[in-house]
């Protein structure tokens, strides 16, 4: 299977940014672990701090990828454009958040992505990405 992980703003700072919330592991380190675990599949990774680049990437891969694991980060709560891009493509999208957004600031309680995602994984740390990939792999076999 061909699965792409797309991360939004500030997730390039994982391991440095608020480690009490996001942990001490960088996403680059975690992605290396994922590529070893899923060596029989094609995993790719894209990160951007720009909303337009995220929309363009979703449009670019959304008709050819077998699944998208998306952590839109702060754009989750503000971007109709990202939601529209997800709704326009055929690849299933699993929304992932490292922290439990529902125990954080009130503005984080709303997601534009959730309404168009196939599923949502919230608050399970980096392992949420692995759970999303496992789901996509299992659901492709049914």
- Residues 6 or more apart whose Cβ sits within 8 Å of residue 120: 94, 95, 96, 97, 111, 114
Q: What's the CA dihedral at 75, 81, 87, 91 to 10 degrees?
A: -60
Give me the residues paired with residue 103 across strands: none
Out of 22, 31, 112, 129, the active site residue is 22
Out of 75, 97, 112, 129, the active site residue is 97
Distance between first and last Cα of the chain: 14
- C-alpha closest to that of 19 among 77, 96, 99: 99
- Whether 22 is a known active-site residue: answer yes
Helix runs in the chain, H state only: 19-22, 27-37, 51-61, 80-88, 127-140
Residue numbers annotated as active site = 22, 97
């Amino acid at each position: 299977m061909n699965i792409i992980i797309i991360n939004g703003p500030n997730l390039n700072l994982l391991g440095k940014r608020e480690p009490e919330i996001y942990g001490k592991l960088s996403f680059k380190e975690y992605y290396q672990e994922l590529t070893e675990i899923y060596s029989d599949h094609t995993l790719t990774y894209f990160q951007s701090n720009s909303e337009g680049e995220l929309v363009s990437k979703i449009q670019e891969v959304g008709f050819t990828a077998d699944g998208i694991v998306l952590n839109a980060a702060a754009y989750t709560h503000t971007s109709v454009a990202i939601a529209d891009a997800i709704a326009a493509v055929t690849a299933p999208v699993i929304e992932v958040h490292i922290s439990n957004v529902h125990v954080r600031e009130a503005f984080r309680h709303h997601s534009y992505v959730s309404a168009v995602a196939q599923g949502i994984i919230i608050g399970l740390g980096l392992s949420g990405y692995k759970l999303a990939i496992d789901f996509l792999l299992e659901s492709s076999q049914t």
